[in-house]
């Protein structure tokens, strides 16, 4: 037990949980509502840095800083969504990708605020004591399960059906009596703020924040996980992350004794295997390993 939950194991499991949450939020945005968000790391990283800055530079109380950080992400998502959500998916892709790149750039260059590549100070765990990392893991577990449950319930609700209708035939959806642009904007703001929340909570997981955390690799990992697991399925994100990120970042790196001269090869191997997996999935199971199964529809 002690060995199983070593400090590094807790760190890795926390990271995996964050990825599960991000992939599930992306399922909501893309799989359910058809919004193309290639700026996952931007919302996540903004939440993380905003929280760290409010906590360390401005000395705000822990939970005040957390709530404020999420509010900042929500505001940014609202403005970005307002501009791009009614454009086509290519425009959404480019705009969100660019947004994430801007966030990474700002974090690197605005040294007065972020200390740039030197790194922001150390973000403490929410609760002190010997088990503080474990507490954080538990919080992440509860919140991640919460996101999955929300995804499940939403798919069966009228609002969820409206989002699916918008994804499927937006022109027709405008005749259903609901403001489709508003529905998308509210939903995008909410789910992106969710990514920001998990970013903020990643700050104490990472503890020491540096700009290199904000590379596009985060976004790609989340997308690959979702596509492997099944974009239409609330559990698709979970399954995909378990098969990709969990296997590599947790099982292999934590428990597999690899010769030290392999250490450099593993990340490259990981990317190659991700790529191969993605190609195989797209070829043989285009809707992910969970197939074309969607949530059962509302039972009347």
Partner 1 sequence: MLKLNAVSSGYGDVTILKEIDLDVGGEVFAVLGSNGAGKSTLMKAVAGLLRSQGGTISFEGRDVTRTAPNKLAEMGLAIVPQEGNIFPDLTVRENLSLGALVGTRPRKARMDEVFDLFPDLVPRIDQKAGSLSGGEAQMVAVGRALVQEPRLLLLDEPTTGLSPKYASSLFRKIREIHEQRRIGILLAEQNAVKALEIADRVLVLSLGAIFLNEPAKGIDFDRVRAGYHI
Least Å from the CB of residue 234 to partner 1:
16
Residues of this chain that bind partner 1 (CB under 8 A): 158, 161-162, 164-165, 167-169, 171-180, 297-298, 300
Q: CB-wise, 129 or 296, nearer to partner 1?
A: 296
Least Å from the CB of residue 187 to partner 1:
15
Q: CB-wise, 170 or 253, nearer to partner 1?
A: 170
Q: CB-wise, 76 or 164, nearer to partner 1?
A: 164
Least Å from the CB of residue 297 to partner 1:
5
Q: CB-wise, 130 or 171, nearer to partner 1?
A: 171
SS (H, E, C) the chain: CCCCCCHHHHHHHHHHHHHHHHHHHHHHHHHHCCCCCCCHHHHHHHHHHHHHHHHHCCCCCHHHHHHHHHHHHHHHHHHHHHHHCCCCHHHHHHHHHHHHHHHHHHHHHCHHHHCHHHCCCECCCCCCCCCHHHHHHHHHHHHHHHHHHHHHHHHCCHHHHHHHHHHHCHHHHCCCCCCHHHHHHHHHHHHHHHHHHHHHHHHHHHCECCHHHHCCHHHHHHHHHHHHHCCCCCCHHHHHHHHHHHHHHHHHHHHCCCCHHHCCHHHHHHHHHHHHHHHHHHHHCCCCCCCCCCCCCCCC
Q: CB-wise, 120 or 162, nearer to partner 1?
A: 162
Least Å from the CB of residue 15 to partner 1:
34
Least Å from the CB of residue 81 to partner 1:
18
């Amino acid at each position: 037990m002690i060995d199983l939950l070593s400090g590094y194991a807790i760190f890795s499991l926390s990271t995996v949980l964050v990825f599960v949450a991000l992939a599930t939020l992306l399922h909501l945005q893309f799989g359910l509502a058809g919004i193309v968000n290639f700026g996952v790391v931007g919302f996540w990283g903004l939440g993380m840095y905003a929280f760290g800055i409010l906590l360390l530079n401005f000395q705000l109380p822990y939970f005040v800083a957390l709530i404020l950080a999420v509010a900042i992400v929500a505001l940014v998502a609202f403005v970005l969504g307002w501009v791009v959500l009614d454009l086509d998916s290519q425009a959404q892709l480019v705009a969100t990708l660019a947004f994430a790149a801007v966030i990474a750039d700002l974090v690197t260059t605005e040294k007065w605020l972020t200390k740039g590549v030197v790194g922001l100070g150390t973000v403490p765990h929410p609760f002190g004591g010997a088990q503080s990392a474990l507490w954080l893991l538990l919080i992440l577990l509860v919140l991640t399960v919460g996101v999955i449950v929300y995804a499940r319930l939403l798919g069966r609700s009228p609002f969820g059906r409206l989002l699916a209708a918008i994804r499927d035939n937006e022109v027709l959806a405008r005749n259903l009596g609901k403001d489709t642009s508003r529905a998308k904007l509210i939903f995008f703001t909410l789910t992106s703020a969710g990514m920001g929340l998990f970013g903020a909570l990643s700050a104490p997981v990472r503890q020491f924040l540096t700009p290199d955390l904000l590379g596009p690799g985060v976004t790609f990992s989340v997308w690959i996980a979702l596509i492997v697991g099944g974009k239409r399925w609330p559990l698709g994100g979970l399954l995909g992350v378990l098969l990709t990120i969990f296997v590599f970042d947790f099982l292999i790196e934590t428990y597999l004794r690899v010769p030290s001269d392999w250490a450099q090869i593993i990340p490259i191997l990981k990317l190659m295997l991700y790529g191969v997996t993605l190609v195989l999935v797209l070829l043989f199971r285009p809707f992910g390993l969970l197939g074309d199964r969607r949530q059962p529809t509302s039972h009347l």
